[in-house]
Amino acid sequence: MTHFVDRRLNPKGKSLANRQRFLRRARTQIREAVQKSLKDSAVADIGKERKIKISTKGTKEPRFRLDPRASGERDFVLPGNKEFSPGDSIEKPKSGGGGGGKDASDSGDGEDDFEFTMTQDEVLDIFFEDLELPNLVRTTLKETPNKQWKRAGITTAGSPTQINLVRTMRNSYGRRLALKRPSLTDISALEAELDAAERTDPVDAMKISALKEELAKAIAKRKWVGFIDPIDVRFNSFTEQPTPTSQAVMFCLMDVSGSMGEREKDLAKRFYMLLHLFLKRRYKKVDVVFIRHTHDAQEVNEQEFFYSRQSGGTIVSTALDKMLEIQRARYATADWNIYAAQASDGYTQSGDARHCVDMLNQLIMPLVQYYAYIEILDEREMEVFASEDSGAELWRAYRTVAEEWSNFATKRIAKPADIFPVFHELFRKAEVKA
């Protein structure tokens, strides 16, 4: 008895193709539901499977139905009915007494919401589909692994699926023409001439013998000069060629000084976790450089950036100095798109904010594609600093940079629920102008 092992990626009893069609059809509703479900979630949970609930309206597959007006009216009673007879009128259900639903309905009918589970990949695709790194441009081919297959002429060997029929038939016709392969018309003409010679009276034996010999040679020649020979066959050739790609580096600058409490540091880390997940999910060639600073800045690895406990005084400009030092050593602007995301509570040493503004205007902003500054506040400060022009010294100084540079953005975060909307606004796709 033969046993088949199903190793397909489709879940048992489900169709992946049908699921993908459903996701495309109800994409708008699903996107809104995903954004809503992620609003109060922890950043670490963004990539996990989650249950999504959407309205059943618009989720049904389109199908053909008979038009009652075209097919005429039909009176019938379904089998098993014990309450009605042909001709009986059915009263409309009373208000609120219709079909079941979780919410009361005043129209007499209702439906439950449609709930289903989305996989990790589906959640991330929906959440990141309308986000991108702003102003990303193509750079040189240096050290780019991206390749694609391109046509590279014709070859005599290859896969049967890559046969070039035009070139193959052209070679076949040329070979048959050069070797003078008799055609079916030539064979038919010889046979007709032989038949006519055999019918003549008196019979010319020598002519008949010559015609038979010529016909035999023609038939034999058609056999050894085939219509298509292996030497005629040609295949399309393809080769891998490097393609222009976009290289980018993201500098993550985080303030871990004493003025940043555990709550502020936690919010900053959540934002950077989301940013890191977004970059690794959407882009193949993106380097992420982690820089922590107190009164001194240092480059650290991912583990130390997110989990190390460090504190001290505050000099924000040291992080900008370290970023420039690393950029000059490893990331030439001719080869890399440079981005930066900075998170701080807005407090720094007296006079340092002015120094940061000078560095940004003169050295950093001409180099970067995009610079995002996120200020971490508590909810009381968010209410006090309701105006965009009010806030800590660093915020007020950076607002002047934002006025001069269109690729400089400033946002504030006060609670976990602010992270997803702010992130989405910072990295949403720019509208294409017609």
CA distance 84 to 94: 19
Same-domain status, 121 and 28: yes
> What's the pLDDT band for 184 if we cut at 50, 70, 90?
confident
User: Quick check: 344 and 292 in contact, CB under 8 A?
Assistant: no
pLDDT tens-digit map of 255-265: 888 778 888 88
Both 57 and 125 in a single domain? yes
| Position 48 confidence tier, pLDDT thresholds 50, 70, 90 | low
Instruction: Tell me: pLDDT of 168 over 50.
Output: yes
Number of domains the chain is built from: 3
pLDDT at 46: 57
Interatomic CA distance for residues 358 and 157, integer angstroms: 64
Confirm whether 95 is domain-assigned. Answer: no
Helix axes 120-128, 262-282, angle to 10 degrees: 90
Phi, psi of 113 (to 5 degrees): -65, 155
Residue 168 lies in a domain: yes
What is the percentage of the chain residues whose pLDDT exceeds 90? 12
**293 and 179 belong to one structural domain:** no
236 phi, psi to nearest 5 deg = -70, 135
149, with CB counted inside 10 A (0-12, 13-18, 19+), is exposed
Among 11-15, 105-109, 169-173, which range has the highest average pLDDT?
A: 169-173
Least trusted range by pLDDT, from 68-77, 274-283, 342-351, 369-378: 68-77
Residues 233 and 252 in one domain: no
Separation of alpha carbons 160 and 233, rounded Å: 10
At 419, which CATH number?
3.40.50.410
Are 404 and 294 members of one domain?
Answer: yes
Rounded CA gap, 326 and 272, in Å?
19
Are 286 and 220 in a shared domain? no
What number is the average pLDDT over the span 30-59?
61
Confidence grade of residue 22 (pLDDT, cut at 50, 70, 90): low
Whether residues 213 and 268 fall in one domain: no
Look at 142 and 306; give whichever has higher pLDDT.
Answer: 306
The pLDDT, as a whole number, for residue 108 is: 44
Q: How far is it, in rounded angstroms, from Cα 79 to Cα 81? A: 6
Determine what percent of the chain is predicted with pLDDT higher than 70. 63
**Residue 118, strand partner residues:** 50
Query: Which pLDDT band, with edges at 50, 70 and 90, does 387 fall under?
Result: low
Q: CA–CA separation, 6 vs 391, rounded Å?
A: 61
Choose the final residue of a domain: 196, 216, 237: 237
Q: Strand pairing of 370-376 and 337-344? A: parallel
Same domain as 256, residue 225: no
Asked, for residue 89, whether it belongs to a domain, the answer is no
Report if residue 20 sits inside a domain: yes
Stronger pLDDT, 119 or 349, i.e. the higher one: 349
Q: Are residues 229 and 269 in the same domain?
A: no
Q: Hey, CA dihedral for 414, 416, 421, 422, is it positive or negative?
A: positive
The residue range of the domain holding 183 is 160-237
Q: Which of the two residues, 189 and 277, has the higher pLDDT score?
A: 189
Burial class (CB in 10 A: 0-12, 13-18, 19+), 361: middle
Q: Are residues 288 and 354 in the same domain?
A: yes
Residue 57 sits in the same domain as residue 119: yes
pLDDT at 346: 83
Q: Are residue 122 and residue 254 in the same domain, yes or no?
A: no
pLDDT over 50 at 365, yes or no: yes
Cα–Cα distance, 248 to 278 (Å, whole number): 13
The domain boundary residue, chosen from 237, 270, 295: 237
